[in-house]
């Protein structure tokens, strides 16, 4: 059974300041606090990703540009792991071009630092944000997953725990 992962750019809040915003202040302003993250953090802790040092609510413009570039080289999965670790576990601001350039370099994206510092990819990102669809539905959450099988497909949004993924993969194996 072949598994392909494709990442669609999605911005939770396109109005986030270009250099990101301090996490606590942003969540207070937008949602009245970060209580909505408790279940996600608890699940992350069980999975080995406790969101231990989430300092910045990122503007994902440059990260999304780099992700699109990484996808061209088959490095999207590697880059997204690095960006998530940097943002949520290492307290880095992935809104910044320099941080995104370092992430791209770690992932092996050719010319990553120069790409992050430059102006290339903005039009493509804008187009992708307008047109991203899964099963005909607009991508409306980050992350969004779609697992396609000959017998149908499964759409998942948001962080998923190992149990959920095992269930989907077991169903995939039954239909393989």
CATH code assigned at 61: 3.40.30.10
Tell me phi and psi for residue 127, to 5 degrees. -65, -45
Is residue 158, in this structure, part of any structural domain at all? no
Is residue 53, in this structure, part of any structural domain at all? yes
User: Does position 123 have pLDDT exceeding 90, yes or no?
Assistant: yes
Who wins on pLDDT, 135 or 77? 77
Q: Which range marks the domain in which residue 116 is found?
A: 21-132
- Which pLDDT belongs to residue 176? 67
Model confidence, pTM: 0.87
- Which pLDDT belongs to residue 155? 79
Is residue 4, in this structure, part of any structural domain at all? no
Place 53 in a pLDDT band, splitting at 50, 70 and 90: very high
The domain tally of the chain equals 1
10's CB contacts (< 8 A; 6+ apart) are 60, 64, 129, 132, 139, 140, 141, 142, 143, 144
* Cα–Cα distances in angstroms (integers) from residue 95 to residues 13, 84, 101, 134, 166, in the given order: 13, 12, 11, 26, 32
Q: pLDDT tens digits, residue range 63-113?
A: 999 999 999 999 999 999 999 999 999 999 999 999 999 999 999 999 999
Distance CA 60, CA 103 (A): 13
Distance CA 148, CA 134 (A): 10
Is residue 43, in this structure, part of any structural domain at all? yes
User: Does position 42 have pLDDT exceeding 80, yes or no?
Assistant: yes
Is residue 6, in this structure, part of any structural domain at all? no
- Which pLDDT belongs to residue 143? 79
Is residue 38, in this structure, part of any structural domain at all? yes
């Amino acid at each position: 059974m072949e598994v392909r992962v494709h990442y669609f750019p999605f911005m939770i809040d396109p109005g986030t300041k270009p250099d990101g915003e301090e996490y606590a202040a942003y969540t207070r302003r937008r949602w009245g606090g970060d209580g909505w993250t408790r279940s996600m953090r608890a699940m992350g802790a069980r999975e080995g990703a406790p969101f231990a040092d989430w300092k910045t609510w990122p503007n994902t413009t440059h990260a999304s540009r780099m992700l699109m570039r990484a996808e061209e080289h088959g490095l999207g999965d590697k880059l997204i792991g690095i960006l998530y670790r940097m943002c949520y576990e290492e307290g880095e601001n992935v809104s910044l071009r320099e941080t995104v350039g370092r992430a791209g370099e770690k992932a092996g994206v050719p010319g990553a630092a120069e790409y992050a510092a430059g102006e290339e990819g903005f039009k493509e990102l804008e187009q992708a944000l307008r047109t991203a669809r899964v099963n005909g539905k607009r991508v409306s959450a980050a992350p969004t997953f779609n697992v396609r099988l000959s017998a149908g497909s499964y759409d998942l949004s948001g962080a998923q725990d190992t149990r959920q993924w095992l269930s989907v993969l077991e169903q995939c194996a039954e239909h393989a």
